[in-house]
Amino acid sequence: MAGIRERARVETTAEIVRLARLQVEQDGAANLSLRAIARSLGMVSSSVYRYFASRDELLTQLIVDSYERLGAAVEAADASVPATDFRGRWRAAANSIHDWAIENPSEYALLFGTPVPGYAAPPDTIGPASRYTAALMRLLVDIETATGVREGVVPLPLQHDFDLLRAFFPAPTSDVLMMYGMNSWAGMMGAITLELFGHLRNVIDTPGALFDALVDQYADLIIP
């Protein structure tokens, strides 16, 4: 059952992905090339096609992998704090995203940077892509379940959007908290993007401190 062939396939696939990630890191996702991977693998280009049907399929694999890793990091961070310590959970989750981005800048860029021209993400990516946001959403649900529903109104079109989002989660969440969640999500991703893509240079010398301070402000927003 082990299968020397099966094992070889797994290893080669992993090696291809590893080299592809390296290539994306150095030349950007737009210049990912199966031939170059084959070359550094000491293989012939056609052989790589035994493992990935196309360049785009390989790219999709890279994206899915990165989303999964980010999602796992957020889930682990969230789980590492007592479930009722909402502020701690929020801080841990937010920091895990920030840390992951700083440690894997090219992967963050692959997920949240400029889309690759000519590449359209297939539906397979939707699930993995929503893993980290689902973790954040569960935190919101937990907060409101414990502390009571928030009163307040959001603009009508957003009410509909939030209704659709709520459908995917066990306990409902109020419009206001969802709105605060959006605020925090946008701010968090914006701060990371600005930092990682160099827009805080000559502006903020301690981006880590800025991020922490922002996360605290978001905590005040989502936790009563």
Partner DNA sequence: AGAATTGCAAGTGCAGTGCTCTCGAAATAG
Partner DNA sequence: CTATTTCGAGAGCACTGCACTTGCAATTCT
User: For residues 49 and 197, which CB has a smaller minimum distance to its own copies in the complex?
Assistant: 197
How many CA atoms are closer than 13 Å to the CA of 120, on its beta-carbon side? 2
Using CA atoms, how far apart are residues 198 and 120, in angstroms rounded to an integer? 27
Which amino acid appears at position 66 of this protein? S
User: For residues 143 and 179, which CB has a smaller minimum distance to its own copies in the complex?
Assistant: 179
Provide the minimum distance between the beta carbon of 216 and its own copies in the complex, in angstroms, as a whole number: 9
Judged by beta carbon distances under 5 to 8 A according to partner kind, the member of its own copies, DNA, none in contact with residue 44 is: DNA
Q: Which of residues 21-80 bind DNA (CB under 7 A)?
A: 32-36, 39, 42-47, 49-51, 53-56
Place of tokens 């689902």: 134
CB contact set of 100 (below 8 Å; sequence gap of 6+): 69, 70, 73, 74, 108
Phi/psi of residue 196, each to 5°? -70, -35
Q: Is 121 in the site for its own copies (CB under 8 A)?
A: yes
Choosing from 79, 146, 199, 224, the residue that interacts with its own copies (CB under 8 A) is 199
Q: Which of 48, 66, 63, 55 is nearest to 104 (CA)?
A: 66
How many CA atoms are closer than 13 Å to the CA of 147, on its beta-carbon side? 18
Check if the beta carbon of residue 224 is closer than 8 Å to that of residue 145.
Answer: no
Q: Is 198 in the site for its own copies (CB under 8 A)?
A: yes
Q: Which of 63, 57, 61, 12 is nearest to 38 (CA)?
A: 12
Q: Classify the C-alpha dihedral 38-41-44-48 as positive or negative.
A: negative
Provide the minimum distance between the beta carbon of 194 and its own copies in the complex, in angstroms, as a whole number: 6
User: For residues 8 and 149, which CB has a smaller minimum distance to DNA in the complex?
Assistant: 8
Choosing from 20, 74, 109, 135, the residue that interacts with its own copies (CB under 8 A) is 109
**Cα 88 to the center of its chain, rounded Å:** 20
Judged by beta carbon distances under 5 to 8 A according to partner kind, the member of its own copies, DNA, none in contact with residue 172 is: none
Provide the minimum distance between the beta carbon of 54 and its own copies in the complex, in angstroms, as a whole number: 19
Q: Is 28 in the site for its own copies (CB under 8 A)?
A: yes
User: For residues 172 and 187, which CB has a smaller minimum distance to its own copies in the complex?
Assistant: 187
Judged by beta carbon distances under 5 to 8 A according to partner kind, the member of its own copies, DNA, none in contact with residue 95 is: none
Choosing from 43, 193, 219, 223, the residue that interacts with its own copies (CB under 8 A) is 193
Q: Which stretches of the chain bind DNA, using CB under 7 A?
A: 1, 3-6, 8-9, 12, 32-36, 39, 42-47, 49-51, 53-56
